[in-house]
């Protein structure tokens, strides 16, 4: 293996990428607008949910409950009559309708435990699930605060002192922004390397390489380092400009340490891209394969859902995936400020998995070139 060949072939890959506007737009979009939109969208978060209230009591307590609903979680409540409630839900104007019955305050003070009716439009699943809990908590809190003015409530034997670490404001933008960068690193590194190999085959330039004094290892290494470098630089810029700049998301740990871990992860994922590029014959086939591969990788890696909540079999199988360890080290460094003394097992696992994937991809690449020669 000659480093000069790897360098020159890599420069050729960068020039080829520069002349591919579709890939360039994909890289720019994935690490800019995509990160921003994923962080800001937050479909699981309640935001300006439309709510209507039927106040049949017209008491100080019911007025207090109505005033407790305000942005950003809810829109200002629409005060409607009982006859308008079902029609508003059917038309989709309200996600929630709350019916406060007559004599509600009197029954509460008398200890009769009256009931409030809450209607939920479950077709808006994310808002319905989260909003129901919010409304129950708000109504219960207002009733308890109101009742305490009239009769003494028994104190709880235990007082829960809640302390939130790493994200004290429970701001989901902080979480979504970093996870989006992690997912884009995995996706782009596989797609770019696989597409680079398929592009060589479709343009017929792979035959030119076969007659040159270069080895399959040099060809593969050139694609690995160039595509890995592009994703590494793009992820660093995204964390600095988009995540820390536009989204104002703090990074707790060392950005340099994270980039070192990202480089190890890219060594593994770019090798995967080469492997997938050798078993597909065209870009449409490669795109279909990516749909089958990327979704399980991103869903089961622990980025969105804790691995501990998954079945044991899935947890054990996903240890063979490089992005499982990448998610662990990325969250440890960027969220909790972990150092090398904490994340070194993930670094070691990525190096080991990357070496295996690189060896398998090189063997497959040599076999593919042998059939074309």
Percent of the chain beyond pLDDT 90?
A: 48
How much of the chain is in helix, strand and coil states, percent to nearest 5? Answer: 65, 5, 30
Pairwise CA distance, residues 188 & 58, whole Å: 58
Q: How far apart are CA 272 and CA 354, in angstroms?
A: 9
Q: Is 2 helix (H, G, I), strand (E, B) or coil?
A: coil
Segment 10-26 shows an average pLDDT of: 90
Side-by-side strand order, sheet with 78-79: 78-79, 51-55, 96-100, 117-120
Cβ-count burial of 18 within 10 angstroms (0-12 exposed, 13-18 middle, 19+ buried)? exposed
Residue scoring higher pLDDT (127 or 192) = 192
Q: Burial-class residue 359 by CB neighbours within 10 Å (0-12, 13-18, 19+).
A: exposed
- pTM of the predicted model, to two decimals? 0.78
Among 302, 180, 295, smallest CA distance to 246 is for: 180
Q: What is the pLDDT of residues 84-122, one digit of tens each?
A: 988 888 888 899 999 999 999 999 888 888 989 999 988
Residue 54: is its pLDDT beyond 60? Answer: yes
Sign of the alpha-carbon dihedral angle for 70, 76, 79, 83: negative
All structural domains of the chain: 3-41+168-372 (no CATH), 51-147 (3.40.1710.10)
pLDDT tens track for 188-210: 999 999 998 888 887 777 777 77
* CA-based nearest residue to 144, from 135, 133, 153: 153
* Cis before 74 (ω within 30): no
Q: Looking at 68-77, 143-152, 301-310, which range is the least confident one?
A: 143-152
């Amino acid at each position: 293996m000659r480093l000069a060949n790897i360098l020159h072939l890599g420069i050729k890959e960068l020039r080829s990428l520069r002349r591919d506007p579709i890939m360039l737009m994909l890289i720019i979009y994935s690490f800019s607008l995509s990160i921003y939109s994923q962080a800001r969208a937050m479909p699981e978060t309640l935001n300006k949910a439309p709510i209507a209230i039927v106040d049949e009591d017209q008491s100080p307590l019911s007025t207090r409950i109505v005033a407790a609903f305000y942005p950003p979680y809810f829109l200002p409540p629409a005060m409607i009559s009982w006859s308008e409630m079902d029609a508003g839900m059917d038309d989709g104007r309200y996600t929630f309708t709350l019916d406060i019955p007559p004599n509600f305050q009197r029954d509460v003070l008398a200890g009769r435990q009256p009931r409030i009716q809450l209607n939920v439009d479950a077709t808006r699943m994310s808002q319905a699930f989260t909003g129901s809990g919010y409304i129950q908590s708000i109504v219960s809190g207002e009733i308890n605060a109101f009742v305490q003015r009239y009769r003494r409530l028994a104190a709880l034997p235990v007082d829960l002192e809640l302390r939130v670490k790493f994200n004290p404001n429970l701001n989901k933008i902080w979480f979504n922004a970093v996870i989006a960068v992690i997912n884009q690193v995995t996706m782009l590194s596989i797609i770019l390397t696989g597409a680079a190999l398929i592009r060589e085959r479709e343009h017929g330039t792979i035959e030119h390489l076969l007659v040159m004094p270069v080895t399959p290892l040099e060809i593969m290494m050139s694609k690995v380092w160039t595509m890995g470098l592009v994703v590494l630089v793009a992820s660093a810029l995204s964390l600095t400009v988009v995540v820390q700049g536009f989204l104002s998301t703090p990074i707790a740990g060392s950005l340099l340490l994270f980039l070192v871990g990202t480089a190890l992860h890219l060594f593994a994922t770019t090798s995967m891209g080469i492997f997938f590029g050798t078993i597909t014959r065209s870009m449409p086939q490669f795109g279909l394969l990516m749909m089958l591969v990327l979704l399980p990788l991103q869903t089961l890696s622990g980025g969105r859902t804790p691995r501990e909540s998954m079945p044991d079999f899935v947890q054990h199988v996903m240890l063979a995936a490089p992005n499982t360890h990448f998610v662990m080290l990325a969250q440890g460094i960027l969220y909790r400020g972990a150092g090398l003394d904490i994340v070194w097992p993930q670094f070691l696992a990525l190096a080991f998995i990357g070496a295996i994937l690189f060896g398998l991809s090189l063997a497959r690449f040599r076999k593919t070139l042998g059939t074309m020669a």
